[in-house]
Amino acid sequence: MYCKAYQLSQLRQFAGWSENPRGPAAKQASSQIEENKSLSGDDLVYVQENYVVTEDLFIDEGIIFNNVTPDWKDFCRGVLMFDPVTDNL
């Protein structure tokens, strides 16, 4: 498992950024997320090896962004300098 922490404000620079709702349904998926908790740009979030963004270290918990497209991968590699293949060596 590989992930890298970033301030949320960095990820929000991506033109296609949208955050998944974190209401009661999301809370059922992850008891770690507080209902209606809002994230600030200073909060740390994690880009996972599959390019999904989570609030937690765990790849399948607290998912806040999962619209993984070629543009998102390019943004991660070019702007964030995130590449799970080379970073994980």
Per-residue model confidence (pLDDT) at position 3: 93
Mean pLDDT by 10 residues, the chain (89 residues): 94 94 50 58 93 92 95 96 78
Per-residue model confidence (pLDDT) at position 53: 97
> What pairs with residue 23 in β-bridges?
none
Residue 54 belongs to what H/E stretch? strand 53-54
Per-residue model confidence (pLDDT) at position 39: 84
Is the separation of the CB atoms in 62 and 21 below 8 Å?
A: no
